[in-house]
Structure formats: C-alpha cells, structure tokens
Amino acid sequence: MTSSSSGPLRIGILGAARIARLFVEAVRPSTKVVVTAVASRDGDRAAAFARELDIGRVHSSYDALFADPDIDAVYVPLPNNLHAEWSIRAAAAGKHVLCEKPLAANAAQARSMFDAARKNGVYLVEAYPYRAQPQTLKVRELVTAGAIGRIQLIQASFGFPLTDVANIRMDPTLAGGALMDAGSYPVSFVRMVAGTAPVRVSALSCWGATGVDLTTMATLEYPDGLLAQISCSFTTARHRHAFISGDAGSISTPYFNDTGAAFPPLVDVRRGSGWDAEREVIETGSTAGFLAEAESFHDLVRFGWEKWTGATPDESIDIALTLDAIAASSRRGVPVEVGR
C-alpha cells in the first residue's frame, strides 16, 4: 500500500466525467486532500481535463494511475457497471477507494469489492456526500438521542427531470435507471435512520423506452414493525426530501448533498404527538458535500472507521441488498424478501 502517513491524502481520479469535475472543484480549498492525477482511456480528454483543472499528472490508463507510487487513493466516478471491476483493481494495487454511489450493480459485486479491500489492507467506501453534511449529522444525533421517540415511519424521496435518452443513466447495460441513480439516496437515508436492512420490500415502477425504470416507489418492512417508503424519479420536478416519524415527534429535512443560501440546511423538528407539538427549525452549518466527504475520507484513512461519517461496509451491503430486492419486486410485481 502506497500511503503517506502525513500531509494531504493524494487522490487520483478515474475518468473525466462531469461529476469528476465537480469533485475536483469542490475539494480544491482542502488542506486534507489533493487531487494529484487523472486517468482516462481517452488520453486527449484526460489531458484537457487536467489542464483546465490544474491537475499535475495525466495517466493514459487506469492501471498506470494505480502504478503511480505518489497516489494514496482513487475516486471512482465511472458508470455504475464499472464500479466493481475498477475498485477491486485499485484495491489490489494498494489504493484506498472512494467509489461513487451506487457502490455496485448488485450486492454480490459489493461483497467482492469489500473482500478485495480487506484482503489488500485498504479502505473502500461508498460516496454519499449528504452523509458528511452537518445537517445529516444533526438528524443522526436527534434520532440517536431519542428526540422523537421510537421510530415508526420513514419516507425519503429524490427526483429530477431527465429526458435525454443518450444519457448513461438511461442505459440498462450500464446499470442505469432511476432506482440505481436517484433511488440509492433515499434507500441509503432509510438505512441510516433504521439502523438495519428491511426484511421485505414491495415495489412498483414506470418503465421507459430504453428499458430502465423512470419512476420507482417501494415500501420497506422491518421486523420490529417499522415501515419505510422510498421514491425516485427521472420524470418529476427536482425534489429531495425526507420525513421521519416517531411515537413522540417527527423530523423533516431535505438531506441535500450541497448546502448554502440556495439550499439551506434545515432540520424541522416537532416534539410531541399532538397537533400542539413543539416545533424547532434548526439551521446547521453549510458546506460543499464533496469537500466534506473527501475530508472525512482523509480522516478515515489516517485515523480509522470512527472518523468516517459516511456509510459503513455493512450499511453499503444492506443498501445493495435492498436495491436488488426493490428491482426484483418491481419487475416481478410481488413482494420480495431482502437477501442476507
């Protein structure tokens, strides 16, 4: 493993997609992480990307970046169907891995990825920038403290309009679709709050001409009686919202990746079980999600799991298992047990 124990975490990026650009721009102010190199199978594209974003090194292949001894970790923002292959190869090269969500195309791939990370003594985590937001940390704090009592119901949604059929999200061979792209967010939010995976799911989807789901809704059942609902869509106005109801109150929040003046980090808390419940609207600190996530990733690599604010390996496996079950239920039209 090639990792410097001091100084900023040196990150190499696989590919030159738009999300990679957003990541580089967001982490630029950091003193904890630095983007040192980019690799692409299109050398000209990688070179142009590096020039525009002032990245010092360009590699003509992903394997060449893995062989670079001055890279500690890699960020994997590739199409969903490529996450497993290249994360496993990065781990085998001794690089820590921050992989975009969804971690893999299915749970079996996700397990193989974590097996590779453990075998090679590196960290591998799934990227959900909202998990590093002060807003989300406040929600977790309130739930853990029992501020709204025993959790009974969770609802989480994320949708936005997408009409370009050439977009990779519309390609089923690339593990595209609303569930895999947008749906991984509400599924991950529900897993964070519930603290465990559901036992059974029931789902319904509307399908597009390319063969991917354009909208999916699902009900998630838990052994203790907790129920959750998630929805995701490529056909709605942009929205992102979560609601948690306990037996002694409720929490409402827009769990944004990025917060600021345009997307205020608000947590709306109601304490009490009646219409007269006491209301408190908490506004937390705001930050760029990629920046907060990358710095948490640095802390993970340097100091261990207790410093990581994002999804743990167990959470990521549960998320993948839940996505698998939702996809199966929506295609078969019947409730599906969640694998273990």
119 is catalytic: no
Please name the residue that has the structure tokens 């306990």.
246
Strands 249-253 and 239-246: antiparallel
Tell me if 110 sits within 8 A of 315, measured CB to CB: no
Tell me if 162 sits within 8 A of 257, measured CB to CB: no
The helix/strand/coil state of 151 is strand
Across the strands, what pairs with 121? none
User: Following DSSP, what letter does each residue of 215-233 receive, concatenated?
Assistant: EEEEEEE-TTS-EEEEEEE
Backbone angles phi, psi at 197, to 5 degrees: -85, 155
Structure tokens at 7: 């100084």
Range list of H helices, 17-152: 18-27, 43-53, 62-66, 83-92, 107-120, 134-144
Across the strands, what pairs with 278? 271
Return the closest-CA partner of residue 325 out of 199, 185, 227, 211.
199
Q: Of 32, 95, 101, 138, which is the active-site residue?
A: 101
CA distance 336 to 223: 14
Active site residues: 101
